[in-house]
């Protein structure tokens, strides 16, 4: 059987170790390298023969989306599975348009991850459908957004503020500039008539925007 050469790109070493063990349980799969950021990943691809990449979106130095764009130009035949914490339909559609072969949430069971790798290696695509509880949450968010005239992005940012993230941290997680985040924060304060971090935290807790 031909060996499937796989690279894992994620900046969390413990997660990478676990993924490597799971993936190498698949017959014929060998993890040939791991990368902790996008630049490291591109360098690995330029100096190694690789068949498939498991790609995190949120990485330092060069994020997964920018990495994906470069990989598709330089290595059009490579199979790419995006492995992410984010389950928004719009993001998944963007990843499809950028040429990924698959999209999985990081809470996926090990057997599903293995099935996806095998399917993609065989030339199929694998884009995980959102779980019913996530869809139910989206229905709630739609009503909430309508009531307070917030955008989905503003709702997401409120939740991150309530978790204690700084503007810089929020910008990094959402792949936006700090200027954009600050603009959203001003709009949120104006719409809700809340102008303090404590007020936003209380609002988020009251409406279930933060655990």
Fold of the domain spanning 4-127? Rossmann fold (3.40.50)
- Indicate the domain borders of the chain: 4-127, 132-206
Confidence band of 87 (pLDDT split at 50, 70, 90): confident
pLDDT at site 141? 52
4-127 matches 132-206 in fold: no
pLDDT tens for each residue of 97-145: 899 999 998 888 899 999 999 999 999 999 876 544 444 444 345 555 5
The span from the CA of 178 to the CA of 163, in Å, is: 17
| CB-CB contact of 56 with 30 (8 Å) | no
pLDDT at site 173? 82
CATH of domain 132-206: 1.10.10.10
The span from the CA of 58 to the CA of 171, in Å, is: 11
Give burial (CB, 10 Å; 0-12/13-18/19+) of 153: middle
| CB-CB contact of 72 with 17 (8 Å) | no
- Total count of residues recorded for the chain: 211
Q: Say whether pLDDT at 92 is over 50.
A: yes
């Amino acid at each position: 059987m031909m060996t499937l050469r796989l690279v894992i790109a994620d900046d969390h070493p413990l997660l990478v170790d676990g993924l490597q063990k799971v993936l190498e349980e698949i017959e014929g799969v060998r993890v040939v390298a791991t990368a902790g950021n996008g630049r490291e990943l591109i360098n690995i691809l330029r100096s190694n023969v690789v068949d498939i990449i498991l790609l995190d979106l949120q990485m330092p130095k060069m994020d997964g989306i920018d990495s994906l764009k470069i990989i598709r130009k330089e290595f059009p035949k490579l199979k790419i599975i995006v492995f992410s914490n984010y389950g928004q339909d719009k993001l998944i559609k963007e990843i499809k348009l950028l040429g990924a072969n698959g999209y999985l949430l990081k809470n996926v069971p090990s057997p599903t991850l293995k099935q996806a790798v095998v399917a993609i290696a065989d030339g199929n695509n694998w884009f995980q459908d959102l779980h019913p509880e996530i869809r139910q949450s989206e229905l709630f968010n739609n009503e909430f957004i309508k009531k307070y005239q917030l955008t989905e992005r503003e709702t997401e940012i409120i939740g991150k503020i309530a978790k204690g993230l700084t503007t810089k941290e929020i910008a990094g997680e959402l792949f936006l500039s700090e200027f954009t985040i600050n603009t959203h924060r001003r709009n949120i304060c104006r719409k809700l008539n809340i102008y303090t971090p404590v007020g936003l935290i209380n609002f988020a807790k009251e409406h279930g925007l933060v655990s």
